[in-house]
Amino acid sequence: MHQDHCALGLAPLSTVARSSVSGAIDIAQGKPVQPVTLVRPHAAARAARFFVEKFPGRSMYAVKANPSPELIKILFENGITTFDVASIGEVRMVARTVPEATLCFMHPVKAEEAITEAYFTHGVRTFSLDSMEELEKIMRATRNASDLTLCVRLRVSSEHSKLSLASKFGVAPHEAKPLLFAARQAADALGICFHVGSQAMTPDAYADAMERVRAAIVEAAVTVDVIDVGGGFPSSYPGMEPPPLERYFETIHRAFESLPISYSAELWAEPGRALCAEYSSIVVRVEKRRGNELYINDGAYGALFDAAHIGWRFPVELLREPQSTVRDHPFSFYGPTCDDIDHMQGPFLLPADIQTSDYFEIGMLGAYGAAMRTAFNGFGSDETVIVEDEPMVSMYTTVEREAASNVVKL
């Protein structure tokens, strides 16, 4: 892996210095002062191959979930060759990282200058929109290009998902007719896209959304070439154990096959979390214990934004030899900054005898954990280690985590 400077997301991986150690426990025994990020390329590669082989259409990676250039290369090498980009910064970064990739600019509200650069400089031909104003903007910015794939975003329910995406974007299905008709006249290929919300806990989310798509198509009486079911594909977290992803794929495929669309229409999806959640975790140190509260050296302004601001629970594991035999106890965390909102309520279950100077691993941080990091208050760490053991939880394997692994320190 080589150095690729990028301000977005996970700190760029530096030149590999090969060594052989046993994994997260070995990292803890080294007593690092700052948190250490563990990345698992094999987990991201496995997730990519799963979607490529099993999803009945085209899978594009939603870059916002984790914009690490190294991760993007791994996904590309394992069959994810299309990327959902939401800003000109993401367009530039992905184009620089994997020039052969296909980019789809799926943010429904874009700067006109960003559209122009994406189209003329980076070869982007697919754009999302949810208003007549945006359609006019796209046409001006591309000088009325005739080779566009335009995806009209419908507003659908997020009732089956843990995080709603139902209020900011999307045209109501009963109001979509004039926009679909106008986009059909302007587009080489017309698509309909939607987003059921993040961490959809049942395939019914997609079945319900597809019914709204059906109603919009029937009302507008247009030929549709692309159905993009967006993101929302879940990962597994404590208290959020979704059904197998194959059930989501089966539900989507059945609904797609029944839609009144072009015979040659394509099915697309935009997995983000599902492709990268298992990619990374973090090793942190306990700086202080106050009853059921642990003060740790990462937090709301680091990799634990979701744990602090939306109450997300992540799997945790004490890194101590010999292992503790004390029963688990619920803890909350405080991060290292001077801000009271740097607080992760949890509960996070760790052995009741955990104490100051202990280390533990927080898993499943590959999605959004890396992307939301800041250096607020001067805290943060760029130390990253490649590990070959299994993630703490996986949607793609039932293999138990191995006691030992080879890692490469960066």
Active-site annotation, residues: 338
HEC readout, 254-316: HHHHCCCCCCCCEEEECCCHHHHHHHEEEEEEEEEEECCEEEECCCCCCCCHHHHHCCCCCCE
End-to-end CA distance of the chain: 10
266 CB neighbour count, 10 Å cutoff: 16
Ordered alpha helix ranges (H), 98-172: 112-120, 132-141
Instruction: Choose among 70, 72, 69: nearest CA to 60.
Output: 72
DSSP 326-376: SPEEEEEEE-SSS-TT-EEEEEEEEETT--TT-EEEE---TTTTTTT---G
Residues in contact with 30: Cβ distance below 8 Å, sequence separation at least 6, in sequence order: none
Residue 330 burial (10 A CB sphere; 0-12, 13-18, 19+): exposed
d(CA 177, CA 393): 44
Using DSSP, state whether 382 is helix, strand or coil.
coil
Beta-bridge mates of residue 93? none
